[in-house]
Structure formats: structure tokens, C-alpha cells
Amino acid sequence: MKKIVLLRHGESVWNKENRFTGWTDVDLTEKGVEEATKAGDLLKEKGFKFDKAYTSYLKRAVKTLNCVLDRMDQDWIPVEKSWRLNEKHYGSLQGLNKSETAEKYGDEQVLIWRRSYDIAPQPLKEDDPRNPRFELRYKDVPDSELPRTESLKDTVERILPYWKEVIFPSLETSDEILVAAHGNSLRGIIKYLKNIPDDEIVHLNLPTAVPYVFEFDDNMNLVNDYFLGDPEEIKKLMDAVANQGKKDKK
């Protein structure tokens, strides 16, 4: 059975501060490193041996991946980074506290910005220093492809070429692949893999650093998917992520 494991990064500094992050390159917290360590130990215990790994251009995902591979003694495997695996761009919301934003605009509006399929937050202004066009790391990406904000639909559209042309075909010559990325970029991939309708994807909340395993048969059809870990604990973590966008969660 071929396997792809999707892994959201461990807790970041802005997860802890409950701020919209998107393409902001924030680091892991100590707890985030612990979560990544735990994920690596669990994957090792379950006998995973990755042939290849993919991650984004953002350090919270890169460092999570490095930590996991180190725990597994698999630091040596080929790793490819792509900007296409970056988090959904959160536009002008980036940096704002999620609960304070809900106090100002209401829980429902924040839920739309966080979880709706095709509604994007207000874009960054062209001259905003956070505009990705000013960043060296995106110098090879055509400006027309660099977002100033994104809906999940936009995120899926920029990930899919990379998924279809690079990540998924690599399963033909590999048995196990690890993808370390972000809450929403992974929600986009999961929506595509499981054919989840637009109005149902709103309910999917990914906890930090919990490995999500996808199994494929010899014809590369998805046959099974499951999280590694205690289901009750994972459900609690998912509910906590959902609550981050509510007024009374500070």
C-alpha cells in the first residue's frame, strides 16, 4: 500500500498569539517543537520510512519537517520545497488577532474569512511591504501568480499543479511520502483527495502536528485515510482550532 502523510506544522508564535498568519514567516514555539518531536516519534513507532518529503517556503513547516525527519533518523532523504505549499494568503488580516477581529466583525464574518471556500479577505495594498513581490524568496515566481490575498479556492488552484505534476506522480517510484505544510494548504489538498463539497470543507479543522495518513492502492486510488493518535484527543484539538476565530476566545 502506498502512503502519503500530510502534516500541519507544530504550534507557531502567531498560533500561540492567535493571530492570522498566512504568508508571514513566523517561527515555531517551544511547544511547536515538542509537537513536531512527538509526531516524529509516533511516525517512527508506526514504522514509517519516507522516500521523499515536500514542504513550503515557510520556516514553521520547514522546521517541523526537519524535526520529524531527525527523530526518525531520516534526515538524509530528498526534500523539495515549493512556494505552492505555502499557507493560504490571509491578505490584510495577516497580523490581526482572530478573537479581536471577531469582536469587531462578528464570529460569522470571521468564519467566512477562515473557512468559506471562495471568499477571500481584503487584499494587501500593492505598496504594502508585506506584498510577496518584494520578497527575495519569490523572485522566480511570476508576479501574476503571487497572491495579495486568497480564498481556499485560490489556494487549491495554485497547489494543484504542483500536487498533480510533482507530488502525486512521485508515488510511482516511492512507497511513502511526507508533506509538511499548513492548516489551509492541507485542507485544500484533502478537499481534492476526498472530493469534499465546497460547503462541507468549512467543518474541517486541522490540529497542529498530527500526522494524517492517506493510503492508495496499486492503481493509485485512495482507499483509506486516518489520523495517527488518540481520536478523542484529536477531536479536542480540532475543536480548539475551530474556536480560535470566536469572540470569547482570547
Ligand X SMILES: O=C(O)[C@H](O)COP(=O)(O)O
Contacts of 166-172 spanning 24+ positions with Cβ under 8 A: 166/54, 166/80, 166/82, 167/4, 167/54, 168/220, 170/52, 171/2, 171/4, 171/216, 171/220, 172/220
Active site residue 203: no
Task: Kindly name the residue from 17, 30, 35, 87 that is annotated as catalytic.
Answer: 87
Interaction residues for ligand X, span 22-81 (CB under 6 A): 22
Please say which residue, 17 or 80, places its beta carbon nearer to ligand X: 17
| Residue of this chain nearest to ligand X (CB atom) | 21
187 is in an annotated binding site: no
CA atoms within 13 A of residue 151's CA, in its CB half-sphere: 12
Smallest gap from Cβ 28 to ligand X, in A, equals 12
Active site residue 87: yes
Smallest gap from Cβ 133 to ligand X, in A, equals 20
208 sits near ligand X (criterion: CB under 6 A): no
CA–CA dist 140, 46 (Å, integer): 39
95 is in an annotated binding site: no
Strands 79-81 and 52-55: parallel
182 sits near ligand X (criterion: CB under 6 A): yes
The identity of residue 56, as a single letter, is S
101 sits near ligand X (criterion: CB under 6 A): no
Of 3, 81, 84, 114, the one binding ligand X by CB under 6 A = 114
Q: How many residues interact with ligand X (rule CB under 6 A)?
A: 12
CA–CA dist 53, 176 (Å, integer): 9
Cβ pair 75, 201 in contact under 8 A = no
Stretch that binds ligand X, among 65-73, 171-179, 230-238, 240-248 (CB under 6 A): 240-248
The identity of residue 172, as a single letter, is E
Residues serving a catalytic function are 9, 87
Interacting residues toward ligand X by CB under 6 A: 20-22, 87, 90, 114, 182-184, 241, 244-245
